[in-house]
Amino acid sequence: MLGSDIEEVGWPACGEIDIMEYVGKTPHEIHTTLHTPSSFGQSINTNVETLENIEEGFHVYKTNWSKDAIQFYIDNQLVYTFSPEEKDKKNYPFNKPFFIILNMAIGGNFGGPDVDDSVFPQEFIIDYVKVYQ
């Protein structure tokens, strides 16, 4: 998710909430990460869960997001809570509208520049997305 003010303030000032990231070169790992201006966009506000069967079947990735904290869940298990002591624009740029991005990123800085084309084609299947207010 990205702050809806990205066009005005840029990244990472807009804030980014990565509810779930999976990198093919590191199987069984799910990343939950927040990018803020105080972290200069680096992945210091993060958690990595190793789940041996995560590639099998569907899973539920959930975020409870409030003015004070963001909690991340995988299959209803709390895996990470982000709640900095000081909640200003630099540490907690999350008290504003955001928009959802669902994408399959290939290569790049996070996935790495070397892509093994033999793994293609792949499927990116999403059963549902729910947003509550």
In Å, how far are 12, 33, 38, 53 from 44, measured between CA atoms? 13, 8, 10, 26
Q: Is 16 a catalytic residue?
A: yes
71: helix, strand or coil = strand
Closest CA relative to residue 34, chosen from 25, 22, 47, 24: 47
Q: Is 7 a catalytic residue?
A: no
62: helix, strand or coil = strand
Choice among 7, 8, 16, 86 that is catalytic: 16
Choice among 7, 8, 21, 29 that is catalytic: 21
Give catalytic residue positions.
16, 21
